[in-house]
Amino acid sequence: MAGTDVLKVALAQIAPVWLDREATLASVMVAMEEAAAAGAKLVAFGEALVPGYPFWLERTGGAVFDSPVQKEIHAHYLDQAVQIEAGHLDRVCDRARDLGLAVYLGVIERPVDRGGHSVFASMVYIDGTGEIGSVHRKLMPTYDERLVWSPGDGHGLRTHPLGAFTVGGLNCWENWMPLPRAALYALGEDLHVAIWPGGRRNTEDITRFIARESRSYVLSVSGLMHADMIPDAVPQVDLIRAGSEGWLADGGSCLAAPDGSWVIEPVVEKEAVQAAEIDHAMVRRERQNFDAVGHYSRPDVTYLTVDRTRQSTAIFEDPES
């Protein structure tokens, strides 16, 4: 029994080739190889990593209405976004299968089922057989993200079996939302993956808080971005660079145990693929005195209803032929 409790997981704190989907996916697969070589069965990447976080917004007057500058950058963002239906993640899925490696990947998704011209910050789970298990579209974009990202839905609030663990995850500030966390807890989650665009200020406190609240392991994984990494090919590059300096996202990836102690302390200002073993026996020990959806719950008093319908603007009812 003890031998089946242990799982090795990895965080991949890497920078995108900003706003370049194919080059960034190539970097993702290099990191997957490194994680698998370290013995990991799961690797996670930061929010919106492919093709990158919209750092230009606060640096170029992103809220100016009908701006030709914003339209040009936005159109490029759509061009470089991930359309799963078009096969943009197929080679990542194939590599996951070859490596026997599960993956959580943050992407900017441009889905056909919402018309194909709006984007969502999505968290894609690929299992060790190369199958996409869930696509969670961020429920509520944060602050200026709402200028480019659409609000998601509950369809991706799902967990997945992984060894002795049940793994689930949320995007960035969704991790501050008590009810989506509770939904995942109710599904038996005991390994929580929180993905972020990057920032120790985001991950240092909440990672340990969620671990202690849920009595689960929490893997927080961030992207990384420095002003010097802005490529020449990006539209309006001079304007973006003029408003940028230093670290736009300094990382902060980390791993906390169910008692809130660090397994991997926050990693800042460098790319890194780090792996560590986690032991499900520790989850069971910490649940002895608190289990938010088990013996320390009162569903007769409070309970949660979750709508996991994939939202659409139209439902078509065709007559039978």
Q: Which residues are catalytic?
A: 47, 138, 172
276/264 Cα distance (integer angstroms): 8
The token duo for 149 is 């990202």
SS (H, E, C) 94-108: HHHHHHCCEEEEEEE
Scored b (16 or more CB within 10 A) or e, 85-121 reads eeebbeebbebbeebebbbbbbbbbbbeebeeeebbb
Cβ(116)–Cβ(84) below 8 Å: no
C-alpha 319: how far from chain center? 40
The token duo for 48 is 């919106």
Q: What is the helix (H) or strand (E) element at residue 269, kind and residue range?
A: none
Q: Compute the Cα dihedral for 41, 138, 55, 247 and give only its sign.
A: negative
Cβ(223)–Cβ(14) below 8 Å: yes
175/199 Cα distance (integer angstroms): 14
